[in-house]
Amino acid sequence: MSNSLIEELPKIIKRGRKEAQKILEGISDEKKLTLQTNELVFPSKDEFGFFKDEIKNSNEKSFNKLIYGDNLLAMQALIAGDENTQSMRGKIDLIYIDPPFDSKADYRTKIELPDKKIEQRPAVIEQFAYKDTWKNGTASYLEMMVPRLILMKELLSENGSIYVHIDWHVGHYIKLIMDEIFGKNNLVNEIIWSYKSGGTSDKYFARKHDTILFYKNSSNYIFNVLKEKSYNRGFKPYNFKNVDEYQDELGWYTLVNMKDVWSIDMVGRTSRERVNYGTQKPEALLKRIIEASTNEDSIVADFFCGSGTTGAVAEKLGRKWIMSDLGKPACMITRKRLVDQDSRPFLYQSIGDYQKEQYEQSEFKTIRDLSHVIMHLYGAIPFNDDGNSNNNLMQYNQIKQTISKIQ
């Protein structure tokens, strides 16, 4: 790319708007994407059918949702709705996203088995989606983010807010994009989440914080004031008139409105909430966000859900939730986490024939091209003989295998 990112940014935003507009214009099409329910998940401890009457008197519109697939397609389906799923356009009070930080990661998931640790690579289609995200560096990352943020704005209610969790890699660019999409005057806070974990260097100050951009959708946004402790000087009582003071093991303090610098520890290695997912965020962080920007009847959404912290906390706080992720390991970890915490029943869904949709939008020209990539990932090579005219026989551990159809 010859131009600087600052020069390219207006073009990136313009292309993103065009892509989002095309999606929004297509939601009334007869061939619109729809959500396909793969499973109605019951909590593990519902041994006696306590939810029986609830299930009997409910339909798919009332359940929380965990959606596997590209969030651009998931949001398209949520906006469109269908006979089983009401349109969520303008109905979500809070969106929190923790997108990848332009780190060029390949998103392998470490899985621990007895006496063994393996790495689970993303599925083939997922790998190419990630590859496309980093294809042209930061520019590709921003291209990925713009249409998604526009669709998120469509999903937000009049009272809604969005929290975008980023770090130093792309924070400055994302803020410019957010100003353009949501309006510069709708920035409520630039929240600093500081923590102790992570490495250090003798080349720069230790990087011990992330940034969370908090934007409102309108002046009618939900905001519940939260309080925090403010310790008195010397930890001694002030004895001011009409000022409530409290005491704990450290000393005397008052309660003040919460500030925008949050010191919350990362999920520790021995923490009970740990699910062994690399980018897992602490429940205390999401609890603070959800309590501040939702009411009890609110719907909360996270379209890069990762380990599922947003839904897990929303569940505990009695909020409805929608989550999605491109990674199958992330969805499976999230599903297990919700079941283990005895959540209410929820739907595990995908977007129509998700793998087929992704194949048709991929760089593969034929099924054979895709089959070769899949077999290459398994370490197979073309089998050379006269009967392999279509080049679709592969050799793996001395076995001939024909690739004729990708399910």
User: CB within 8 A of 283, min separation 6: which ones?
Assistant: 273, 309, 312, 313, 316
Residue (of 117, 24, 125, 150) closest to 76 by Cα position: 24
Look at residue 403 in the predicted model and tell me its pLDDT: 38
Q: Provide, rounded to the nearest whole percent, the portion of the chain with pLDDT above 90.
A: 56
Distance CA 328, CA 350 (A): 11
Higher per-residue pLDDT: 362 or 96? 96
Look at residue 261 in the predicted model and tell me its pLDDT: 97
Instruction: Determine the average pLDDT of the residues in 132-157.
Output: 88
Between 2-11, 366-375, 382-391, the lowest mean confidence (pLDDT) is in 382-391
Whole-number mean pLDDT of the chain?
A: 82
Look at residue 198 in the predicted model and tell me its pLDDT: 75
What angle, 0 to 180 degrees and rounded to 10, lies between the N-to-C axes of helices 138-155 and 171-182? 30
Largest separation between any pair of C-alpha atoms in the chain: 96
Look at residue 57 in the predicted model and tell me its pLDDT: 54
pLDDT at 406 over 50: no
pLDDT at 80 over 60: yes
Q: Please, are residues 64 and 322 in contact by the beta-carbon 8 Å criterion?
A: yes
The residue assigned the tokens 């409910």 is: 58
Query: What are the DSSP calls for 44-76, one per residue?
Result: TT-TT-TTHHHHHT--GGGSEEEEES-HHHHHH
pLDDT at 59 over 70: no
Q: pLDDT tens, 60-74? A: 668 999 999 999 999
pLDDT band at 197 (very low <50, low <70, confident <90, very high): confident
Look at residue 399 in the predicted model and tell me its pLDDT: 43
Distance CA 106, CA 103 (A): 9
Q: Please, are residues 301 and 155 in contact by the beta-carbon 8 Å criterion?
A: yes
Distance CA 270, CA 251 (A): 29
Look at residue 73 in the predicted model and tell me its pLDDT: 93
Higher per-residue pLDDT: 189 or 201? 189
Look at residue 296 in the predicted model and tell me its pLDDT: 94
Distance CA 228, CA 162 (A): 22
Q: Please, are residues 263 and 270 in contact by the beta-carbon 8 Å criterion?
A: no
Instruction: Determine the average pLDDT of the residues in 321-341.
Output: 92
Using only the alpha carbons of the chain, give its radius of gyration: 24
Look at residue 133 in the predicted model and tell me its pLDDT: 59
Residue (of 186, 112, 114, 178) closest to 142 by Cα position: 178
- Cα distances (angstroms) measured from residue 220 to each of 37, 95, 160, 183, 186: 34, 16, 8, 15, 11
The third-level CATH classification (topology) of the domain covering 5-221+282-363 is Rossmann fold (3.40.50)
Q: How many CA atoms lie within 13 A of 203 on its CB side?
A: 1
Query: How many of the other CB atoms lie within 10 Å of CB of 100?
Result: 20
pLDDT band at 44 (very low <50, low <70, confident <90, very high): low
Instruction: Determine the average pLDDT of the residues in 109-136.
Output: 53
pLDDT at 385 over 60: no
Residue (of 43, 60, 94) closest to 314 by Cα position: 94
SS3 154: helix
Query: How many of the other CB atoms lie within 10 Å of CB of 181?
Result: 20
pLDDT band at 157 (very low <50, low <70, confident <90, very high): very high
pLDDT at 357 over 80: no
Look at residue 199 in the predicted model and tell me its pLDDT: 78
- Is the sign of the CA dihedral 299, 331, 122, 199 positive or negative? positive
The residue assigned the tokens 């609890």 is: 287
Q: Please, are residues 394 and 382 in contact by the beta-carbon 8 Å criterion?
A: yes
pLDDT at 255 over 70: yes
Look at residue 398 in the predicted model and tell me its pLDDT: 43
- Is the sign of the CA dihedral 170, 171, 172, 174 positive or negative? positive
Quick one: which H or E segment has residue 329?
helix 328-340
User: CB within 8 A of 252, min separation 6: which ones?
Assistant: 231, 232, 235, 236, 237, 238, 245, 246
SS3 314: helix
pLDDT band at 223 (very low <50, low <70, confident <90, very high): very high
DSSP 123: P
pLDDT band at 330 (very low <50, low <70, confident <90, very high): confident
The residue assigned the tokens 């499973």 is: 39
Look at residue 53 in the predicted model and tell me its pLDDT: 55
Instruction: Determine the average pLDDT of the residues in 324-337.
Output: 90
pLDDT band at 85 (very low <50, low <70, confident <90, very high): confident
Distance CA 145, CA 151 (A): 10
Between 6-15, 128-137, 232-241, 247-256, the lowest mean confidence (pLDDT) is in 128-137
Q: Provide, rounded to the nearest whole percent, the portion of the chain with pLDDT above 70.
A: 72
Record the tokens describing residue 70, joined without a space.
Answer: 């590209």
Record the tokens describing residue 198, joined without a space.
Answer: 């992570």
User: Where are the chain's structural domains?
Assistant: 5-221+282-363, 367-407
pLDDT at 380 over 70: no
